[in-house]
């Protein structure tokens, strides 16, 4: 279950704003506030089955967005490449100020990922 929570959390971070308002709210209540289906149903004034349907559709949509857009995969690849570049810069025998400037530029790029 923890793997699914992490997976949905990452997908939601990248694609949550593409979901409907009801789907966003349901994901947040279930995964972030750890409410049960019954508690969410009561809060949203819908049936337990309605909550389940919103969750299921939202999870499916998030996975579909990643399959089509691949932003998470691209992020991971870029981060790995930047980590390797940073490591190589630190190991390379160059003047300390040049090395420092290169590392700062890599860190700047990482902040924008």
pLDDT means over runs of 10, the chain (113 residues):
91 97 96 96 96 96 97 92 85 77 84 79
Q: In whole angstroms, give the CA distance from residue 73 to residue 39.
A: 34
SS3 state at 46: coil
Contact partners, residue 69, CB within 8 Å, separation at least 6: 15
Q: In whole angstroms, give the CA distance from residue 97 to residue 75.
A: 29
Q: What are the residue ranges spanned by the domains of the chain?
A: 2-69, 73-111
Return the pLDDT at 52.
96
Q: Find the helix or strand (DSSP H, E) in which 96 lies.
A: helix 96-111
Return the pLDDT at 60.
97
Q: In whole angstroms, give the CA distance from residue 96 to residue 102.
A: 10
Q: In whole angstroms, give the CA distance from residue 41 to residue 48.
A: 5
Instruction: Return the CATH class of domain 2-69.
Output: mainly alpha
Q: What is the pTM of this model?
A: 0.77
Return the pLDDT at 108.
86
């Amino acid at each position: 279950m923890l793997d699914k929570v992490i997976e949905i959390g990452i997908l939601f971070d990248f694609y949550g704003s593409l979901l409907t308002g009801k789907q966003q709210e349901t994901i947040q209540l279930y995964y972030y506030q750890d409410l049960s289906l019954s508690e969410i149903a009561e809060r949203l004034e819908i049936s337990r089955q309605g909550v389940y349907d919103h969750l299921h559709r939202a999870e499916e949509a998030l996975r579909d967005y990643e399959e089509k857009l691949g932003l998470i995969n691209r992020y991971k690849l870029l981060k790995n490449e930047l980590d390797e570049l940073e490591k190589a810069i630190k190991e390379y025998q160059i003047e300390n100020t040049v090395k420092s400037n290169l590392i700062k530029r890599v860190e700047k790029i990482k902040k924008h990922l």
